[in-house]
Amino acid sequence: MNYLWDGILNLKSSISEYNNSIAFCYLNLNNGAVAINENLSDRTNQLLLIFKKEIAIPDKQLAIRIVDNRQLLFFNEDQLASETKLFLQQYLPYCFLSILAKEKERAIVVAHFAQTLDGKIATENGDSKWIGNKENLQHAHRMRALCKGVAVGSKTLEIDAPKLTVRHVRGTDPVRIIIGNPPPVFDSLLESSTAAIHVFCSKDLAKLPNINYHYLSSEDGMICPKEILQKLYRLNIFSVYIEGGASTTSYFFEKGAIDILQLHIAPILFGSGTNGIQLPIINKVKEGKLFDQYSFLPVGDSMMFTGFCK
């Protein structure tokens, strides 16, 4: 899938750098070339992506209609190998995050957890390495390459000491974003990449060189997620991949600040431990959170739930 991955990266960059409205574009599945609002010179094995409803699909053309910049409707898909279709389903939607961000004037959030069958993201004492399989790790690195920033809460930085790079795939390391008031220990981030580090904090922290601190007001210690996302947008960080932990992601979810939720569901049970999404108690099934559209796609021996939040 390397050739296709390069094409996806190229498509993502071409779309985010394109300043006009996009009616259609072509992606050459052989060499990853991209053309926006015009034809490709090499028309062999080309995929047409259509953004505007009024554009018709040429006869027998392999094409995908992009509905609301997120839903994919395939046409003449018999020309695609099943693993190519799966890869497009898994990664194509994230090429359009910059368009959504410009519509909403805030960074778009994709949140990810690797969780057990009973919804736990860590054991009782905080161990979480690794709940997901190796394909999920590669998936997370692909998502980091597709998003401009990757964010974790201060406790995850402290407990897991993550590197937050794309070392398992080709791509550019994202900007690293820490939410909260972390102790001044960023070794895992500083030693692994030169990508920028931003801290969104509510306290006046002792400043370290090479770290960008953004002080925002808070309520009960929690900063309004949408304020963080608006600030990120102003920093030209149009998309952010939130990788936990539970309190950070749950608070964003509760405040309607997650656009896409990815749950990697591993075939393991804990029966105790940390719940991934933690929300105020509801009493009726009908009060449960639903998604606009969702999919369950295979990732190695496990499944990935991907839901577009309402």
Ligand X SMILES: NC(=O)c1ccc[n+]([C@@H]2O[C@H](COP(=O)([O-])OP(=O)(O)OC[C@H]3O[C@@H](n4cnc5c(N)ncnc54)[C@H](OP(=O)(O)O)[C@@H]3O)[C@@H](O)[C@H]2O)c1
Neighbours of 72 (CB within 10 A): 15
Judged by CB, which is closer to ligand X: 221, or 288? 221
Closest approach of ligand X to the CB of residue 199, in Å: 10
Which tokens sit at 267?
A: 């075939």
Judged by CB, which is closer to ligand X: 6, or 127? 127
Closest approach of ligand X to the CB of residue 94, in Å: 18
Judged by CB, which is closer to ligand X: 54, or 220? 220
Closest approach of ligand X to the CB of residue 154, in Å: 4
Closest approach of ligand X to the CB of residue 218, in Å: 6
Closest approach of ligand X to the CB of residue 213, in Å: 13
Judged by CB, which is closer to ligand X: 29, or 110? 110
Judged by CB, which is closer to ligand X: 243, or 259? 243
Judged by CB, which is closer to ligand X: 62, or 228? 228
Judged by CB, which is closer to ligand X: 48, or 150? 150
* DSSP state string for the chain: -HHHHHHHHHHHHHHHH--S--SEEEEETTT--EEESS--S--TTEEEEE-STTPPPPTT--EEEEETTTEEEEESGGGS-HHHHHHHHHHGGGGGHHHHHHHHTS-EEEEEEEE-TTSEEE-TTS--TTSS-HHHHHHHHHHHHHSSEEEEEHHHHHHH------TTSSS-PPEEEEES---S--HHHHHH--S-EEEEESS-PPP-TT-EEEE--EETTEE-HHHHHHHHHHTT--EEEE---HHHHHHHHHTT--SEEEEEE-S---SSSEESS------SGGGS--EEEEEEEEETTEEEEEEEE-
Which tokens sit at 205?
A: 């922290």
Closest approach of ligand X to the CB of residue 171, in Å: 20
- The residue whose Cβ lies closest to ligand X is 245
Closest approach of ligand X to the CB of residue 257, in Å: 9
Q: Which residues contact ligand X (rule: CB under 6 A)?
A: 113-114, 121-122, 126, 128, 131, 152-156, 159-160, 179-182, 202, 218, 221-223, 225, 243-248, 251, 274
